[in-house]
Structure 1
Amino acid sequence: MDPDFEPTYLRLHRSGELKKRGGELWNMMQSCELCPRKCGINRLDGNEGFCEASSQLEISSHHPHFGEEKPLVGKGGSGTIFFTNCGLRCVFCINWEISQGGIGRPRSIEDMAEMMLNLQKMGCHNINLVTPTHYSPHIVLAVDMAVGKGLRLPLVYNTCGWERLEILKKLDGIIDIYLPDLKYSDGKMAAKYSSEAETYPEVTKAALLEMHRQVGVAKPASDGLMYRGLMIRHLVMPNGVSGARKVIEWIAENLPKDTYLNIMSQYRPMYKAFEYPEISRRITRQEYHEALRWAKEAGLTNLDIQGYPL
């Protein structure tokens, strides 16, 4: 742990702002607008939104995770909390049992605070919040509670990227590391494979710019760990479905050239992907190499490259 690191959420906790923002987010569940679907369901009355979440927090698992990006994993692992349900609902989701199958258990905000503290005691380097958007009120309130009991780890907001600016601004000063996907460059592809989320490209691009404004470029500290910054993921999909070239070019044109970009090669057909022939196979070596070439031609210098080495 970098001895000079102090999470920005400490100041917000001391001033009472952290609890205040948690309450503001909580009230938004009365006619839910936490994600870009803005389904308007009153989750506080026990109703479920499009994401299939009510106001009851549900968590699938929490544990040290060693399969994330190296600057998040270190030696102690990333302290991952997997939230049940999701507002994007992709047909190829690798964690579909959790995101769409409802696997998880009801938990209290106090439970989540204790989970974070336990992950810290286990030696994890951060708290990694996976698919957090629909439970952002619970997260902020749990962080406030955990900070009062000694939580000091950086918070990782591990998101599909499809985020409302209004919600992100309420997370300003709370989240240390944003870890968003930029899944598609074409809204038609997003609509087809992610439950009619046609606004995905434009909304996510605006979200990434706001994330960068808040936390800046992600660069490891002297201990090799990441404590702050924007870390973008792009999953290369077969047959050009993800629009990798346009995604990469947009990043190069709108963010610093040293923006952290993980070009991911591990797509494999899961869940309902076999119902769509064009995404019913893994990517080829050539498809991945093309994405790497486009990134280098665009001048991006902070690439996390996986598999299929050149």
Structure 2
Amino acid sequence: MLAECCLCPRHCGVNRLGGESGKCRVTGQTMVSSYGPHFGEEAPLVGRYGSGTIFFTYCNLRCVFCQNYDISQLGNGSAVDGEELAGMMLSLQAKGCHNINLVSPTHVVPYILEALELAASRGLYLPLVYNTGGYDSVETLKLLDGVVDIYMPDMKYSDEKTGEQLSGIKNYPQVNRAAVKEMHRQVGDLQLDEQEVAQRGLLVRHLVLPNRLAGTEAVVRFLAQEVSTNTYLNVMAQYRPCYKAFEIPELARPVNRQEFSEAIDLTHQQGLSRLDKQQISLPLRLILG
């Protein structure tokens, strides 16, 4: 898959094993920006001791408003091998984290699988979270069937032109929807233990954008009609202009109260009621001042 790279739907076809790089700008190695317990994730992932996040450098998307652009676009991070990546996973487990949360894993799946084999042989048992921007190929996802416990994709847009303008890809909605359906086929709806900590299932993120650019109505309708009305959904209001967002007038301000309230109403109208309360309450306080 790396000799003629087809890991993601971009199908760049470059020889990453030979040092070439495609749209994600990663060659034959993995880069990690940081790792550690994280308490800002969704409530079922954080629990009491945090989500064990590993932030991979670079991304297969080019979102102009990315809040982590220093990692995803500017390449902040260091190269690691399979031994080091496995060690990070085991270290997070030793710290008491509830899961291993792989952030932006799409372009480094083979290296993750290599590290997981090492870590599992040394006692790794935590649920594995695949935390993705949502531009994933079904073929690659099928390699993860039985490996990933919790899928956490973004559903960024419902309009092709918006995806091309804001993330540099023409077919985001179609690819994203096929990926989300495959994820749900593998793991089903989100399942929590007696402490309300996620063990398995699908958790979807949707960032509300100014001027309705995210196409929330079509996103939640798809989830309700083609995935499950029991989908656990995080409708996020924390958008703020970052990176190149100020170059696009429609993105050059935060989301307002009306836009976020409308997004929540649309979600309820479609019968989706499993919303992440931790993530909703904080942005509302910020918006309402």
TM-score (ref. length: structure 2): 0.96
Which residues in structure 2 correspond to 1:288-303 (within 5 Å)?
A: 288-303=260-275
Alpha-carbon separation, structure 2, partners of 1:304 and 1:67? 12
Alpha-carbon separation, structure 1, partners of 2:84 and 2:66? 27
Aligned partner of 1:131 in structure 2 is 104
SS in 1 for 2:202: strand
* CA apart distance, 1:220: 1.5
SS in 2 for 1:296: helix
Residue 75 (structure 2) aligned to one of 93, 102, 111: 102
Alpha-carbon separation, structure 2, partners of 1:255 and 1:108? 37
Residue 272, structure 1, aligned to residue 248, structure 2: no
SS in 2 for 1:33: coil
Q: CA contact under 8 A between 1:190 and 1:200: conserved in structure 2?
A: yes
Residue 62 (structure 2) aligned to one of 76, 89, 92: 89
Residue 237, structure 1, aligned to residue 209, structure 2: yes
* CA apart distance, 1:219: 2.7
Residue type at the aligned position of 1:149: R
* CA apart distance, 1:255: 1.6
Residue 308 (structure 1) aligned to one of 276, 284, 287: 284
Aligned partner of 1:11 in structure 2 is none
Alpha-carbon separation, structure 2, partners of 1:77 and 1:87? 27
Residue type at the aligned position of 2:222: W
Residue type at the aligned position of 1:202: Q
Residue type at the aligned position of 1:108: D
Residue 284 (structure 1) aligned to one of 250, 256, 263: 256
Residue type at the aligned position of 1:35: C
Aligned partner of 2:7 in structure 1 is 34
Residue type at the aligned position of 1:245: E
Q: CA contact under 8 A between 1:185 and 1:242: conserved in structure 2?
A: yes
* CA apart distance, 1:276: 0.2
Residue 70, structure 1, aligned to residue 43, structure 2: yes
* CA apart distance, 1:223: 1.4
Q: CA contact under 8 A between 1:238 and 1:278: conserved in structure 2?
A: yes
Residue deviations 1:43-91 (CA, integer Å, cap 9, x gap):
0001112111001111000100000001100111100000001111100
Q: CA contact under 8 A between 2:206 and 2:233: conserved in structure 1?
A: yes
Residue type at the aligned position of 1:165: V
Alpha-carbon separation, structure 2, partners of 1:34 and 1:264? 28
Alpha-carbon separation, structure 2, partners of 1:226 and 1:205? 23
Residue deviations 1:156-206 (CA, integer Å, cap 9, x gap):
0000111101000000000000000000000100000101x1110001101
Aligned partner of 1:7 in structure 2 is none
SS in 1 for 2:234: strand
Aligned partner of 2:29 in structure 1 is 56
* CA apart distance, 1:308: 2.0
Residue deviations 1:22-49 (CA, integer Å, cap 9, x gap):
xxxxxx1101010111011100001112
Q: CA contact under 8 A between 1:252 and 1:299: conserved in structure 2?
A: yes
Residue 148 (structure 1) aligned to one of 121, 124, 139: 121
Aligned partner of 2:193 in structure 1 is 221
Residue type at the aligned position of 1:297: Q
- Could you list the runs of 4 or more consecutive aligned residues of structure 1 that deviate by over 4 angstroms after TM superposition? none
Q: CA contact under 8 A between 1:289 and 1:308: conserved in structure 2?
A: no
Alpha-carbon separation, structure 2, partners of 1:225 and 1:304? 12
Alpha-carbon separation, structure 2, partners of 1:295 and 1:59? 35
Alpha-carbon separation, structure 1, partners of 2:170 and 2:214? 13
Q: Unaligned regions of 5+ residues in structure 2, if any?
A: none
Alpha-carbon separation, structure 1, partners of 2:30 and 2:158? 32
Alpha-carbon separation, structure 1, partners of 2:276 and 2:86? 32
Residue type at the aligned position of 1:92: F
Q: CA contact under 8 A between 2:100 and 2:129: conserved in structure 1?
A: yes
Residue type at the aligned position of 2:43: K
Q: CA contact under 8 A between 2:43 and 2:276: conserved in structure 1?
A: no
Alpha-carbon separation, structure 1, partners of 2:271 and 2:199? 25
* CA apart distance, 1:302: 0.9
Q: CA contact under 8 A between 2:202 and 2:232: conserved in structure 1?
A: yes
Aligned-residue identity in percent:
52
Aligned partner of 1:16 in structure 2 is none
